[in-house]
């Protein structure tokens, strides 16, 4: 009997052991599955996110200050010039213990008490993400010693800087003067004079003498406005005569890299013309700001059953002029175009430069197309129909613009109707005489538009970039206010009753994406137009690019890789 009981106890222990073993194995398997799921999430689903973070850790982008101009006497003798030297600099927000870091650096590099005092003074006037010099003019030996120990000092790096030198020392000091670090008062004055953007990356400013009197000329300019067309080509191929294979590759490429799209690309402007349509409605007394329509999601001409669809199938409800721009209501502009008529549209749009060359100082510009009944009769031997006007009202149909034209029209709108001819070249210097000739920037025309009308349209464009507007995502968290307008231009027609589904359309047949903007909205400094060929919605592709350009120009914030969400369904217009 005793043996039987012991046998049963043993069997029970084996059972419990197996149970515990199974539970342990199950727990281990569960942990492995969790780790695998986490691995898939990080390596696959979040790959783009962490790749961007890795790039941010690897790449540090800062503004580059311009090389300060030389001062020479009438015989060409240099009175003030620049030379390059190395500095040891610390970025505060990357250093955990500043004092300990400086003490360790002092074991490698000669850091005097005066260097520490100067660095301490700089701390109070600078932001944590800026790098500050702890030692200037390092010797080659010091550079080599630090480079070998660089891994020990996160947030510390060696930079090449330009330093000012006065060869004649005290002999002409009162005449030439000197430069020094920008203090709080000077920084405030630069902000007041709206010159702060031009001093990003600059630490010094003229204090006395010629250095101060001619600070504007000596300092130079840090921003060059962009004129970009992609894809491009390597101009070095043409220097000695391009070979046949390269020429054929360029000519036969479906991406047409030889085509300067910014200058010669002609596209339907889509909804980017709606602010100009709104101005025309106000200008010709066809619309009052308070005039409201009820949008069912479509428009039909009197006596016709054909429906011109709004991009929002169910419509936008009650829509006045302000809202029509903010939500980009097609139905509003179908009706407005019909009431304006093509002659009035043509007249006002021509004043903004549509259908005309801007006159930029570059060969090969095309004029786009602002259609008219005379043009259609000459081109197609057909009369103008009411439906043609309806399509023109939302930037479709026969309308064609270049990106440069739209940027020019946007700048004219931002300037309250004052138009300036765009220039790539700022000034010319004759090498033999050093004589400089600055190109004139006088206004070419003034449209003499009603200031209240302009203010209303521009305020609606600001609302486009804010919550509820079609470009709200692009405007999110912007430290400045900017005005904009999205646009989506059809490449192929969609039949009545059909729905535009981007994923089912060949890439080269997908809609083009537009965005135009100017900023800051109250005192514009920059106007732009962005086109993404076959990019789909202006709000999701073109607008984010424009935001990065504005951030860079106004804030000195270097663009990071752009992540664009793919919307397979899409809409017809925006």
Helices (H) then strands (E): counts for the chain: 21, 17
CB 142 within 8 A of CB 106: no
Token pair 């008062």: residue? 185
Say which residues have a Cβ less than 8 Å from residue 350's Cβ, sequence separation at least 6.
356, 370
**Residue 284: is the preceding peptide bond cis (ω within 30°)?**
no
Coil/strand/helix, residue 318: strand
Q: For 293, how many CA atoms within 13 A lie in the half-sphere containing its CB?
A: 21
What are the Cα distances from residue 423, in Å, to 75, 349, 405, 440, 479?
33, 22, 13, 9, 29
According to DSSP, the residues that pair with 293 across neighbouring strands are 319
Indicate if 318 belongs to the active site.
no
Task: Quote the DSSP letter at residue 43.
Answer: I
- For 290, the token pair is 């308070």
Rounded to whole angstroms, the Cα distance separating 423 from 345 reads 28
Rounded to whole angstroms, the Cα distance separating 484 from 475 reads 9
Give kind and range of the element (H or E) at residue 210.
helix 209-213
Coil/strand/helix, residue 273: helix
According to DSSP, the residues that pair with 84 across neighbouring strands are 162
Say which residues have a Cβ less than 8 Å from residue 151's Cβ, sequence separation at least 6.
none
CB 311 within 8 A of CB 270: no
Neighbour tally for 256: CB within 10 Å: 13
CB 64 within 8 A of CB 198: no
**CA-based nearest residue to 210, from 250, 177, 161, 239:** 177
According to DSSP, the residues that pair with 513 across neighbouring strands are 488, 532
Rounded to whole angstroms, the Cα distance separating 259 from 233 reads 10
Residue among 131, 202, 268, 271 flagged as catalytic: 271
* Positive or negative torsion for Cα 122, 128, 134, 138: negative
**CA-based nearest residue to 395, from 356, 345, 360, 351:** 345
Treating both helix axes as pointing N-terminal to C-terminal, what angle do 274-283 and 330-340 enclose, rounded to 10 degrees? 40
User: What is the residue-wise DSSP string for 170-186?
Assistant: GGGHHHH--EEE--HHH
Distance of CA 528 to the CA centre of its chain: 9
What are the Cα distances from residue 99, in Å, to 102, 119, 128, 390?
5, 11, 15, 70
CB 412 within 8 A of CB 403: no
According to DSSP, the residues that pair with 6 across neighbouring strands are none
Token pair 């009603």: residue? 450
Active site residues: 271
């Amino acid at each position: 009997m005793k043996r039987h009981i012991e046998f049963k106890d043993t069997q029970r222990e084996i059972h419990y052991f197996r149970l515990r073993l199974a539970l342990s194995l199950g727990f281990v398997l569960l942990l492995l599955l969790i780790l695998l799921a986490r691995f898939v999430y990080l390596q696959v689903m979040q790959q783009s996110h962490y790749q961007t973070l890795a790039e941010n850790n690897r790449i540090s982008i800062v503004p580059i200050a311009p090389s300060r101009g030389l001062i020479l006497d009438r015989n060409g003798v240099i009175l003030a010039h620049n030379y390059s030297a190395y500095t040891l600099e610390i970025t505060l927000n990357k250093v955990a213990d500043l004092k300990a870091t400086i003490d360790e650096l002092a074991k490698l590099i000669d850091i005097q008490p005066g260097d520490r005092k100067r660095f301490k003074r700089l701390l109070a006037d600078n932001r944590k993400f800026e790098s500050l010099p702890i030692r200037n003019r390092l010797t080659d030996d010091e550079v080599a010693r630090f480079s070998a120990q660089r891994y020990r000092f996160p947030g510390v790096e060696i930079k090449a800087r330009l330093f000012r030198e006065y060869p004649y020392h005290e002999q002409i000091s009162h005449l030439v003067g000197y430069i020094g670090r920008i203090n709080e008062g000077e920084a405030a004055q630069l902000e007041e004079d709206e010159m702060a953007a031009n001093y990003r990356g600059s630490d010094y400013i003229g204090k006395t003498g010629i250095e101060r009197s001619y600070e504007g000329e000596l300092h130079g300019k840090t921003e060059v406005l962009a004129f970009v067309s992609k894809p491009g080509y390597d101009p070095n191929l043409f220097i000695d005569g391009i070979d046949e294979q390269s020429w054929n590759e360029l000519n036969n490429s479906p991406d047409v890299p030889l085509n300067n799209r910014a200058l010669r690309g002609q596209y339907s402007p889509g909804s980017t013309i709606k602010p100009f349509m709104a101005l025309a409605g106000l200008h010709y007394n066809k619309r009052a700001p308070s005039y409201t329509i009820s949008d069912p999601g479509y428009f039909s001409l009197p006596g016709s059953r054909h429906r011109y669809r709004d991009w929002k199938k169910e419509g936008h409800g009650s829509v006045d002029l302000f809202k029509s721009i903010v939500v980009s209501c097609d139905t509003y502009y179908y009706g407005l175009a019909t009431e304006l008529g093509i002659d009035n549209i043509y007249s006002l749009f021509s004043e903004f430069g549509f259908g005309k060359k801007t006159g930029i100082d570059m060969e090969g510009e095309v004029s786009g197309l602002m259609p008219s009944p005379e043009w259609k009769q000459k081109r197609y031997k057909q009369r103008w129909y009411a439906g043609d006007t309806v399509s023109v009202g939302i930037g479709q149909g026969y309308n064609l613009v270049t990106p440069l034209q739209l940027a020019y029209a946007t700048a004219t709108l931002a300037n309250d109707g004052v138009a300036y001819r765009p220039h790539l070249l700022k000034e010319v210097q004759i090498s033999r005489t050093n004589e400089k000739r600055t190109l004139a920037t006088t206004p070419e025309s003034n449209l003499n538009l009603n200031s209240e009308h302009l203010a209303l349209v521009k305020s609606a464009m600001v609302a486009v970039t804010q919550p509820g507007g079609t470009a709200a995502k692009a405007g999110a968290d912007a430290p400045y206010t900017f005005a904009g307008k999205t646009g989506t231009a059809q490449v192929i027609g969609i039949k009545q009753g059909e729905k535009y589904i981007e994923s089912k359309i060949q890439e080269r047949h997908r809609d083009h994406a537009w965005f135009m903007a100017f900023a800051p909205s109250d005192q514009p400094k920059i106007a732009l137009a962005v086109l993404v060929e076959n990019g789909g919605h202006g709000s999701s592709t073109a607008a984010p690019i424009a935001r990065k350009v504005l951030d860079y120009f106004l804030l000195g914030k270097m663009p990071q890789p752009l992540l664009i969400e793919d919307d397979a369904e899409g809409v017809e217009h925006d």
